[in-house]
Amino acid sequence: MLWWLLRYFGFRWSRHRVPGLGRESRWFMRQPFMVPRHSADFLGFAERLTRDRLGSENPEQLKKLLVHAFLQDLREAYRRRKLRGLPRRRGRRRTAYVTVLLDNVTEANGGWELLRLINEVRNETGALDPLLIITASDERPPPVAEPAAGAEPAARATRAWSSWKHRLPGRWQMLAGDARYLFIDLPKPSAAITPEDAGVWEDRQAGPVAPPWIARRGVLELAVAALLVVSLAPTAVKVDEYRGAHCSFFRAGLSSGVATKVVDGQCVGYSDNARQIFGENERLRQAQLLVFAENAKAEELHRANPGRAYVSVVYRAGLTNNEHSPATAHAVAEELEGVVIRQREQNDPSASVKPLLRVVVANCGTGMSAADVVTRDMLVPLIEGDPGILGVLGFDRSVAQTEQAIAELGAHGIPALGTTLTAVGLADRSPLYFQLVPDNTQQAELLAGYTRYVGAPKVTIYHPPLDPGNSYVSTLVEVVRQRLAGIEVASQGWTTSVGSLPSPCRDPARRSREIVFYAGRETEFGDFLRTVRSNCAEPRKLPRIVADDAVSRFVAHAPDRNRSELNGIPVSYVGMGSPVVLGGQACVDGRPGALPGGGPALDAFCAGYADLLRDLRRLPPEEAPTTPWAGERVGGLYDAAAFFLDAARRLPVLGVLPVRWPRTGRRWRSSSAR
């Protein structure tokens, strides 16, 4: 019924309208000449104006219609305002009447008839028009309704114009036939101009009035251009800033899964698709693309089976400005690769009971320097607006900004899972924080046990400046000193460069039984090894070198690991993913039973890792993983993703997630350990 009514009334509304001639058709049907209401619509009126029908129309009315249409065109050209009262610049630029000069006007050539028709149309319609007609004729006009006023000499034209202007309203009201006429007698042509005529010409300045400046050509355009430049300048600067930081500006606005901002020249934010890829390292970018490809596949599987659980997690780390520390970029890439392996396991079309996993990659800048800003301004609003996001994992490294981010997430009831953080006291920041690996206390216990096992008489701790903002190093040095009670402990710190440290081989005493413990970041470990080895002709004179868990990033980067000047230096370091590392080449090849007692979980990981390596071998040789064991960070994130997936499986109803976890009073417990 509604469709029928719309069709009926729509047809009735549009059947008499001609596309593109709406204004013209309305004018013709409303003007007074030729009685347009005798026609049903505009098309019928237009048909009366055709050659075959003109014989049945009043010729006088037809002529007035033509004159009226001509004057209406002039009115439209001089119209000062558009519809709805907006100013019209073209009309405001026209400040003088259209002047028509007619010479030798007679009754025979139709000149006087044209003037009469113009006068009558103006009287009958009352519409103003911008037309001034100046005629020259040797004869008087034909008789009009009232006798024409006497012609004034040209010398008194100004006085005659004033008098005519004063009488015009009354004569116009009376529809006088000569209401619009002003007759001036011109003198006979002569070589000289009389003084009276010369004075009149000197008093009158011919020429149109200058239009308002805003109506002049180019003024408004220039003003608009200047306004656009001023208004768009901040945006242009921002776009240039984003482009310089390899940050998506326009494309980010087209995707709800992308949000970015530039902080200290770095592109930070989050992304769940290829519209924004963080960092410049090729392996790191490839890892993100693999994650995003699995995101798209998970979304497609969920669309095909809406009843299947579909959950999300946020992975956060420092993904930018690592061009001078590719080991850091490769370590982050390893973690994303572990997530990819887990996603591929879940994206099995035949396993409808497995929850699908979407991963949002968040960049917090070099060294997690923008972790607090990204959390507060971007991740918290994202997670609170999407109950399908179970929590945040990763966190990269223990610094003050990471601690603030953990506290911010806890204040909003958002779970946080640290995968490699070992600083002491992080759990105090949030009741919803859990870490997969032990803190620095356990690392110190391992070092103490190893020291006693090898019988080392002395341990020298090498560390960067103890900055409270770098809680990883400061807490590590503190607990190592505590756990090495009863053993001689020395500290050797550096302020600007690790290369300024003295080499142990400068001491003539034999130190091969001692231990030097490197408690710093991976970025300076290579220089540390060069410093330790300098002035050592025999490597066997070197003390035992033990490094903290951060050095696993250095080990994961083949170009650093394979430098010739480091050849022959034995190094031990604290590892956080021993099962995947001990699986060795068998795990890299994807063979089951790579580690006795590893179980089905390790076999599944090794099989997925072998498949992943086929994709990564397309990378340049210096970027592709080459170790004869699986990266420990790959295994770590593989387990971390499983942590959240296990939580999703334990929910009462698959696919229906709690809006938020409780903010206080409850800590997570590990359901499995690597």
CA nearest to 134, candidates 161, 168, 167: 161
CA distance 602 to 635: 9
Domain with CATH 3.40.50.2300 in the chain: 440-575
Q: Which helix (H) or strand (E) holds 433?
A: strand 433-435
Q: Give the lowest-confidence range in 221-235, 269-283, 611-625, 645-659.
A: 645-659
- Mean pLDDT value of segment 164-184: 83
Tokens of 509: 């005493």
Strand partners, 363: 269, 317
Helices (H), 484-583: 525-533, 552-556, 558-561, 578-582
Q: Which helix (H) or strand (E) holds 98?
A: strand 98-103
Tokens of 643: 């942590």
pLDDT at 663: 42
User: Could you tell me how far CA 593 lies from the centroid of its own chain?
Assistant: 48
The answer, as to whether pTM is greater than 0.75, is: no
Give yes or no for residue 563 having a pLDDT over 70.
yes
Tokens of 645: 């997936």
Q: Please give the CATH topology (third level) of the domain spanning 274-437+638-649.
A: Rossmann fold (3.40.50)
Q: Which helix (H) or strand (E) holds 60?
A: helix 59-78
The model's confidence at residue 392, banded by pLDDT at 50, 70 and 90, is: very high
The model's confidence at residue 28, banded by pLDDT at 50, 70 and 90, is: confident
CA atoms within 13 A on the CB side of 220: 11
CA distance 314 to 417: 10
Tell the burial category of 151 from Cβ atoms under 10 Å away from its Cβ (0-12, 13-18, 19+): middle
Higher-pLDDT residue of 555, 390: 390
Give yes or no for residue 13 having a pLDDT over 60.
no
Q: Report pLDDT digits (tens) over 473-519.
A: 999 999 999 999 889 999 988 888 888 888 777 776 778 889 999 99
CA distance 311 to 358: 6
Give yes or no for residue 181 having a pLDDT over 90.
no
User: Could you tell me how far CA 297 lies from the centroid of its own chain?
Assistant: 24
Higher-pLDDT residue of 291, 247: 291
CA distance 145 to 176: 6
Residues 317 and 364 sit within 8 Å (Cβ to Cβ)? yes
Give helix then strand counts, H and E, for the chain. Answer: 24, 16
Tokens of 326: 């590719």
Q: Please give the CATH topology (third level) of the domain spanning 440-575.
A: Rossmann fold (3.40.50)
